Amino acid sequence: MCQKMKSHDPVWMFAPSSPVGENAPANVSACGMTINAVNRYPVASASNAREREIENCAYSRGVSFHVGSQQRNPHAWDRALASAAAVFRECGERGITLSMVNLGGGFPTKYLKNVPTVKTYGSAIFRALRKHFGNRIPETIIEPGRGMVGNAGVIEAEVVLISKKSEDDDVRWVYLDIGKFGGLAETMDESIRYPIRTPRDGDALAPCVLAGPTCDSADVLYEKQPYPLPVSLEIGDKLLIEGTGAYTATYASVAFNGFAPLQAVHI
């Protein structure tokens, strides 16, 4: 749940599953409910933890949840809001009035696949609010970081090596001057596939393994599903990795294997 703190505290509201919540002042009681809507970030099951949480929420303001990063299903909020409404009712029966729902993040950025429009998400969430809360819709806040800024960033990268593991290998390895440790951490498990533009777009394509420069065995971006890039690509070519406005510069390591952090230029 979301807890309101004293006005002179630098953080005036927090979710108790966060480090702020864990270190809240002793006189502040927090009620934390995590709704695991898509089996991602599985902090606690709402059904198992609800009773304990309600007992602790005398000073709580509302419920906070997250439906999963890069959520392409606008109806994912329906299940979470059903659980949130149940907590509101149970708290109300115990004389505890809750007034706010933090709808969390999860709003996606368009990478290689289209995503629903902002209006589609808004309509689906409002229908779910009306369905589960009726005419007593609580105050709501959202955390649409990726959905707002994801497409506002572009990373310029350079091809530093093109090689094959053997003469008989049909798949090239293309090494860039940026990898997982330089800001592309979300390629972990190839969960995010960024759009990539090259100066040779339009030429014949062939699949390649895309890797970073650090010589670390984990610094491979796309291998399970090789990335199609122009056959004519050469060392020194500059590539544009699009959709990198979120979770890139903030993920960049500081001098890992001697490489400087990703430089951010704001225009």
Is pLDDT at 253 greater than 60 in this prediction?
yes
Predicted local confidence at residue 166, as pLDDT: 85
Check residue 114 and give its pLDDT: 93
pLDDT surpassing 50 at residue 38: no
Show the beta-strand stretches assigned E in the chain.
Answer: 2-4, 13-14, 60-64, 100-102, 139-141, 154-163, 172-176, 196-197, 205-211, 220-230, 238-242
Same domain? 117 vs 91: yes
Asked if residue 138 and residue 6 are part of one domain, the reply reads: yes
Where do the H-state alpha helices sit in 110-213? Answer: 118-133, 145-149
Mean pLDDT of 9-14: 59
Domain boundary among 90, 125, 148: 148
Does residue 135 sit in the same domain as residue 122?
A: yes
CATH number at residue 132: 3.20.20.10
Assigned domain for 263 exists: no
Give the end-to-end CA distance of the chain in Å, rounded to a whole number.
37
Residue 62 lies in a domain: yes
Report how far residue 241's alpha carbon sits from residue 189's, in angstroms, rounded to the nearest whole number: 18
pTM of the model: 0.80
Considering Cα of 39, then 41, then 47, then 48, what sign does the dihedral take?
positive
Predicted pLDDT of residue 8: 52
Residue 221's domain comprises 153-258
User: Among 232, 242, 170, 162, which residue's Cα sits nearest to residue 202?
Assistant: 232
Contact (Cβ atoms closer than 8 angstroms) between residue 197 and residue 214: no
Listed residues 128, 148, 168: the one ending a domain: 148
CATH code of 244's domain:
2.40.37.10
Q: Is 159 in the same domain as 234? A: yes
Residue 26 — φ and ψ, nearest 5°?
-60, -30
Last residue of a domain, one of 111, 127, 148: 148
Domain count of the fold of the chain: 2
Cα–Cα distance, 222 to 187 (Å, whole number): 7
Does residue 85 surpass a pLDDT of 80?
yes
Statement to judge: residues 21 and 129 lie in one domain: yes
pLDDT tens per residue across span 146-190 = 999 999 999 999 999 999 988 888 899 999 999 999 999 999 999
Decide which of 15 and 249 is more confident.
249
Together in a domain, 244 and 112:
no
Do residues 11 and 125 both lie within one domain?
A: yes
How many residues make up the chain in this entry?
A: 267
Sheet holding 220-230, edge to edge: 196-197, 238-242, 154-163, 172-176, 205-211, 220-230
